[in-house]
Amino acid sequence: MSLTLHTEGDTIIVVTRRFAAPPKALFRAHTEPELIQRWLLGPDGWTMPVCICEARPHGKFRYEWVNGKGAGFHVTGEFLELEPYRRIVHVERMHLPDPTPENHVETTFDPDGDGTAMTVRMNLPDTATRARMLATGMARGMEASYLRLEARDDFDMLGER
Amino acid sequence: MDVMQQLDGVFAALSDPTRRSILARLAKGEATVMELAEPFEMTQPAISRHLKVLETAGLILRRAEGTKRPCRLAGDGVDAIEQWLAMLHKALARNYDRLDAVLADVKPAKKRSKQ
């Protein structure tokens, strides 16, 4: 199904996507570690060996990704609001390895026929953060091939720095 | 220029808070060295050195206008945002395609078993 992504003003990105499953299944897939680890992975070859997710208001989460070749990074965050099964508000920061500015994210799951219309509103990172994400080659599933570095040895080395 | 070298230059340029402030100011529009120096307790030559770093990194462009050389953000910077968004779109699409498969597994565990 198709995903839409647009910016609002200078600072907000809005992502929408429809799913065939009901809101409860979406909510679970965003809050239960054994489900999160199966899809929030980014480019092929990356896995999430550490997934800690305290799905309650003020609960913390920590996701760690590795590519099996020595490169990796992690995200930490806190849940601000959890409204089963329709809304999640959290803050997160990437560690590349220095922490990026905090990203505020609101995720909503609205019933849509038999399925769910999901909307994600998040901050647009600043220029410096975007550059660091590009250099890491992966952040929230960044596509390494954008830089056409996949075939290069120095790409993986960069991630290890 | 090699992509890695280019990124190194960009990181070096962005590592300084004064240069980041200059970029934030230029995001609002073109400005002269004098205008850019105003908010800082710095001499114009000091600001000019920062501008040189930003220019070399490809983050700003300067044009001649009499003795002034007004600065503006490089078009590449704007393109970079669009390319970054396109990359984000692709990455999220891949994750959510994976999520479709995960959800297909989640549903049978619930009351509704209808696909």
Q: How far apart are the first and last CA of chain B?
A: 52
Q: How near does any CA of chain B get to the CA of A46, in Å?
A: 12
Q: Quote the pLDDT of residue B12.
A: 77
Coarse DSSP helix, strand, coil percentages of chain A, rounded to the nearest 5 percent:
25, 45, 35
Q: Quote the pLDDT of residue A126.
A: 78
pTM higher than the cut 0.80: no
pLDDT average per 10 residues of sequence, chain B (115 residues): 59 81 84 89 90 88 85 71 75 90 76 46
The tens digit of pLDDT for each residue in A24-33 reads 999 999 999 9
Q: Quote the pLDDT of residue A58.
A: 94
Q: Which residue has the higher pLDDT, B8 or A56?
A: A56
Write out the E strands in chain B: 60-62, 71-73
The CA-based angle A81-B113-B107, given to 5 degrees, is 35
Q: Quote the pLDDT of residue A141.
A: 41
Mean residue pLDDT of chain A comes to 81
Q: How near does any CA of chain A get to the CA of B37, in Å?
A: 21
Asked if B102 lies within 8 A of A29 by C-beta distance, the reply is: yes
Q: Which residues of A touch B80 (CB under 8 A)?
A: 127, 130
Asked if B81 lies within 8 A of A26 by C-beta distance, the reply is: no
Instruction: Give the count of Cβ contacts less than 8 A between chain A and B.
Output: 106
| Residue of chain A nearest B86, judged by CA positions | A5
Note whether A89 contacts B: Cβ–Cβ < 8 A.
Answer: no
Taking Cα atoms as reference points, which of A68, A19, A60, A61 lies closest to residue A42?
A68
The pair of three-digit structure tokens given for residue A17, joined into one six-digit string: 């996507």
> How many C-beta atoms lie closer than 10 Å to residue B90's C-beta?
16
Give me the phi and psi of A4, to 5 degrees please. -115, 145
Cα B67 → chain centroid: 29
pLDDT at A85 exceeding the cut of 90: yes
Q: What is the mean pLDDT of residues A63-70?
A: 85
Residues, chain B, total? 115
Contact in structure between A51 and A33 (CB atoms under 8 Å): yes
Q: What is the mean pLDDT of residues A75-97?
A: 94
Asked if B89 lies within 8 A of A42 by C-beta distance, the reply is: no
Q: Quote the pLDDT of residue B112.
A: 47
- Phi/psi region, residue B29 (left: phi>0; alpha: psi -120 to 50; beta: rest), is left
Contact in structure between A86 and A109 (CB atoms under 8 Å): yes
**Could you tell me whether strands A103-112 and B71-73 are parallel, antiparallel, or unpaired per DSSP bridges?**
unpaired
Q: Quote the pLDDT of residue B80.
A: 64
Asked if B11 lies within 8 A of A131 by C-beta distance, the reply is: yes
Asked if A42 lies within 8 A of B91 by C-beta distance, the reply is: yes
Can you name the residues that pair with A115 across neighbouring β-strands?
Answer: A112
Asked if B103 lies within 8 A of A133 by C-beta distance, the reply is: no
The pair of three-digit structure tokens given for residue B8, joined into one six-digit string: 């190194």
